[in-house]
């Protein structure tokens, strides 16, 4: 949100183009010196761990590299999006809608694992909630109450994590 104040009220993914990743958007926070390290992108007991190597200023090309970001980002949001709109959340199995996770709290090495059926979701209003997932056809999914009504008919663009594997 702070980044958008200096960038005409757009979010860091606004002009990244097709194939953009959450890592690229989050790297901009380091390039603009809003963050001093990449640790915030790691997850506890996650295979996605920051290595502390940001690279050389001003590009910081090594920052938030493959395997160093645990969070997926909802793309193309506007600063005037509703406060309860999810902005980013723990990585799912893939960026395809509907997002799906596996119950794997005791298996930190897997992508898309949950904390006993729960994932953390950060919202546009700055709040973060632990959201209990529902059982879907092929995995655990966000309950309808966790996302805006319009997402039921038009799925948002999800910027994926860059996987090191």
Q: Is the pLDDT of residue 67 over 90?
A: yes
Looking only at the bridges linking them, the beta strands covering 71-74 and 158-159 are: antiparallel
Cα distance between residue 106 and residue 46, in whole Å = 10
In 95-105, which positions are buried (b, 16+ CB within 10 angstroms) versus exposed (e)? beeebbbbbbe
The Cα–Cα gap between 71 and 40 comes to: 10
Percent of residues in the chain assigned helix, strand, coil, to nearest 5: 15, 20, 65
The answer, yes or no, to whether residue 164 has pLDDT greater than 90, is no
DSSP state of 20: -
Q: What is the pLDDT of residue 4?
A: 87
CB atoms inside a 10 Å sphere around CB 136: 13
Separation CA 99–CA 126 (nearest Å):
22
Chain mean position to CA 161:
7
**What's residue 78's pLDDT?**
87
Do residues 64 and 55 make contact, with C-beta atoms less than 8 angstroms apart? no
| Closest-CA residue to 136 (of 106, 111, 104, 101) | 101
Is the pLDDT assigned to residue 107 strictly greater than 80?
A: no
Asked if 142 and 131 touch (Cβ cutoff 8 Å), the reply is yes
Does residue 143 surpass a pLDDT of 90?
A: yes
Q: What is the mean pLDDT of residues 135-153?
A: 89
pLDDT beyond 70 at 108: no
Q: Which helix (H) or strand (E) holds 27?
A: helix 22-31
């Amino acid at each position: 949100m702070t980044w958008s104040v200096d960038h005409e009220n757009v979010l860091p993914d606004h002009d990244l183009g097709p194939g953009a990743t959450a890592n690229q958007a989050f790297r901009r926070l380091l390039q603009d010196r809003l963050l001093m390290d990449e640790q915030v992108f790691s997850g506890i007991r996650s295979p996605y761990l920051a290595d502390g190597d940001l690279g050389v200023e001003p590009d910081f090309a090594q920052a938030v590299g493959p395997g160093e970001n645990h969070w997926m980002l909802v793309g193309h949001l506007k600063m005037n999006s509703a406060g309860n709109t999810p902005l980013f959340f723990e990585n799912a199995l893939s960026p395809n809608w509907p997002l799906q996770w596996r119950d794997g709290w005791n298996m930190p090495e897997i992508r898309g694992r949950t904390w006993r059926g729960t994932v953390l979701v950060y919202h546009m209003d700055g709040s973060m909630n632990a959201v209990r997932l529902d059982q879907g056809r092929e995995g655990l999914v966000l309950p309808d109450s966790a996302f805006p009504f319009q997402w039921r008919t038009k799925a948002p663009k999800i910027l994926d994590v860059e996987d090191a594997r």
